[in-house]
A and B are shown apart, each in its own frame.
Chain A
Amino acid sequence: MFSILRINTATGAVKKEAFASTEYLLGGRTLSSRLVSREVPATCDPLGRHNKLFFCTGVLAGTTVSSSDRLSIGGKSPLTGGIKESNAGGIVGTRMARQGLRCIALEDAPQDDAGWKIIVIGRDKIEFLDGSFLAGKGVYDKSDLLAERFGKKAGCITIGPTAEKLLLATGIACSDPHGVCSRYAGRGGLGAVMASKKVIAMVILDDGEVEPQFLDQENFKEGSKKVVNLLKANPVSSLFTKYGTAAMVDICQALKVLPTQNFRHGVMEGAEKINAQTMYDTIKARGGEGKTQHACMHPCAIQCSNVYPDKDGKLLCSPIEYETMALMGSNLCLKDLDAIAEMNRIANDAGVDTLDVGAAIGVAMEAGLAEFGDTKAAVRLMEEVRHLTPLGRILASGCKIAAKVLGVRHAPHVLGQAIPAYEPRGTKGMAMTYLSSPMGADHTFGFTLRDEAVPTSKEGKVELSKKFQVIGSRMDAMGMCNFVRYSVQNNMTPLLDLIKAHYGAEISEVEFDDIVKETLRIEHQFNTDAGISHHDYRFAETFYEEVQPETGEKMDITDEESLLARQW
């Protein structure tokens, strides 16, 4: 049986329920999206009392299996108006598993003038504490105060000051293994949803005593080792450990899909100044607290994260990911890793998604509020976000809102969520994926780029995107890190064998993929019920009218074609 802890944020009532169904077994996005679909009225106000926020662990959470402790957070998105699942690394999943929880649901909402609360979940009790001392503070300060009060080993979840103001591009920050809330479920505005429930932090104490029970412990141990051995056997995985996701800068530049100048171009002259090798060399040269290899959760054999130090070797930001390097770097024509790291740090502190706000700053630059390539101006715009100035609030509402307010037509988003770091006119496979995701433009969901023989052609991209939508959703479906794919690649058997050894549940690969597809169906149905039509799954019209200079391509995917890629 798997437990869900339901917390009514208006009344303080708490209820625990237990279920043994497959959705609770798998947890992750399989569970969060089903709960949202079933319990959240699709047409509700995402910041109102009818929305709910579900925090779900995955099927192997709390075990020794590498990278199995992702926390999947689901609700209705105020950014897209549709269903949202956003997940994060860190230690919260582990702590929930030790408390015997598969899911925590935040339900209802108090009056707007209610005070901020911290919900503390421990072995013996669940408390609502006064959280007013955290209000208005940055996430790093909040994180320090929470660690001081509850210990660095507590699994903490908090939001930034931008989320407190219910801004739309805000995320939820989760504790990393050092007790710092730096691991973000960044996308879709779920930070604002948490704030709408007047919950400024949630703490899972490190006093849980629930140990995983294995039906076949020996097989489980063997299976766990196998996953790590498969990872080691893949020559690419060591490079991933060394360079992390930053390696994509060079790949996208070579393929002419590196977002540049508010997605006007796909190539940035001087991109090597912000590429993986430069980042690696900089971290190594500066030493100090810098790390080129870092785990966002334990255990993790991949360790693709990093710690980027300042010139004195002090931690400036952890992690810096490719998507941020592009949206806060090349997309703004910035060629300065220190500036990108600084902007990333401010974003983490303010509690905003680096992709959506990076894209919003690109829009602001196109509107003439600053010059592309002006590093100081870009950092200043991030400071506006941190200080909640009127312009900062607009930027923290994401690129769609920013474009509307600032009079920019070339707004890089789908369903209101910023396009990730692959210029869609140059990669029609990724474009098809952006147009097919129930979450708004998303890249992890159907990563076609490596398998597109002719990236600029839309031929065959419905099928290719659908293939990778399933592959890309598998890990989310069970709460695993996406990069476990470097270990098992496209063969799910080693992971399904672990589920069998742990719980005795036999799920075939076909059955598992059917569950993944059913999740996609449910998510799309929610969006339809929410009033999102096939006309909404489009890029801004400028992408269809204007050529991307380096590839000579316009967007040419029709509504009918993208509809096919959303049908399951």
Chain B
Amino acid sequence: MVIVNFRLSEIGRVVISLNDPEKWETLVQRCAARSAIELGTILAVRRGRLLQGDDLVADGDEIEVFPALSGG
């Protein structure tokens, strides 16, 4: 099971079962498609590290997703 927390977003918390590791870019699109919300640019963080599109996500991962905003 992978938990994806979409922070500051209507999508909220998504739990997905994974049999095999999957690329983050495809997984996140599946999450967005479920809620029919356009994501825009995002930042995804796993264990304090930014997650890149071709990083593999595996069972047990918990991922925080943020809109790619900036300070000012």
Most buried by A among B7, B40, B50, B71: B71
CB nearest neighbor in B for A427: B50
Tell whether, in the assembled complex, residue B71 and residue A550 are in contact, meaning their CB atoms are under 8 Å apart: no
A145 within 8 A of B: no
* Assembled-state Cα–Cα distance A304/B69 (Å): 11
Report the minimum CB–CB distance from A232 to chain B (whole Å): 12
* Assembled-state Cα–Cα distance A322/B68 (Å): 14
Tell whether, in the assembled complex, residue A251 and residue B50 are in contact, meaning their CB atoms are under 8 Å apart: no
A390 within 8 A of B: no
**A450 contacts which chain B residues (CB < 8 A)?**
41, 43, 68, 70
* Assembled-state Cα–Cα distance A455/B45 (Å): 11
* Assembled-state Cα–Cα distance A247/B50 (Å): 16
CB nearest neighbor in B for A251: B66
A239-B67, A250-B8, A254-B48 as given contacts; A323 in contact with B72, CB under 8 Å: yes
Report the minimum CB–CB distance from A66 to chain B (whole Å): 15
Q: Which of B40, B49, B71 contacts A236 (CB 8 A)?
A: B40
* Assembled-state Cα–Cα distance A251/B65 (Å): 9
Contact with B along A431-460 (1 / 0, CB 8 A): 000000000000110010110111100000
Main secondary structure of the interface of A (DSSP, over half): helix
A256 within 8 A of B: yes
* Assembled-state Cα–Cα distance A443/B71 (Å): 8
* Assembled-state Cα–Cα distance A421/B70 (Å): 11
Residues of B31-72 whose CB lies within 8 A of A:
38-41, 43, 45, 48-50, 52, 64, 66-72
Tell whether, in the assembled complex, residue A452 and residue B50 are in contact, meaning their CB atoms are under 8 Å apart: yes
Report the minimum CB–CB distance from A536 to chain B (whole Å): 25
Contact with B along A484-512 (1 / 0, CB 8 A): 00000000000000000000000000000
Report the minimum CB–CB distance from B47 to chain A (whole Å): 10
CB nearest neighbor in B for A326: B71
- Beyond A247-B67, A255-B45, A483-B70, list 11 extra A-B contacts (CB 8 Å): A234-B41, A235-B40, A236-B68, A248-B69, A248-B71, A254-B48, A277-B8, A321-B71, A321-B72, A443-B71, A453-B50
Q: List 17 A-B contacts (CB under 8 A).
A: A234-B41, A235-B67, A236-B40, A236-B41, A239-B8, A239-B67, A242-B8, A245-B71, A248-B69, A248-B70, A250-B66, A254-B45, A304-B72, A321-B71, A420-B71, A453-B50, A482-B72
The 5 closest A-B pairs by CB, nearest first: A235-B40, A236-B40, A254-B45, A247-B69, A322-B71
